[in-house]
């Protein structure tokens, strides 16, 4: 279950002080209407897929699969500079 494993990674990142102002959201793209809509809008083709979306709704980065926590943290830190 790569999605459940990666969800734990995102939970850990969300709890980090440096990311307290970021709005983290998770969607079930198979069984939830809102998740299906998001998957269609952002062309999600596999799970897990992690999108970093700016305040305008534009995707600024995308991770496919269960990527290491450090990869996501490094990208978020770079975007926040």
The domain ranges of the chain are: 2-80
**Residue 75 predicted with pLDDT over 80:** yes
CA distances 80 to 17, 54, 64, 74, Å, are 13, 11, 21, 10
Facing residues of 59 across strands? 53
pTM of the predicted model as reported, rounded to 2 decimal places: 0.84
Q: Taking the CA atoms of the chain, what radius of gyration do you get in angstroms?
A: 12
The pLDDT score that the predictor gives to residue 31 is 84
User: What is the CATH number that goes with domain 2-80?
Assistant: 3.40.30.10
* pLDDT value of position 2: 66
pLDDT in tens, 30-74: 888 999 999 999 999 988 999 999 999 999 999 999 999 999 999
């Amino acid at each position: 279950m790569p999605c459940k494993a990666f969800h734990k990674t995102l939970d850990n990142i969300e709890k980090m002080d440096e990311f307290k102002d970021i709005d983290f959201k998770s969607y079930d793209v198979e069984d939830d209407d809102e998740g299906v809509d998001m998957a269609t809008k952002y062309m999600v083709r596999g799970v897990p897929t992690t999108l970093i979306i700016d305040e305008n709704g534009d995707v600024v980065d995308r991770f496919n699969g269960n990527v290491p926590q450090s990869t996501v943290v490094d990208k978020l830190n770079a975007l926040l500079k």
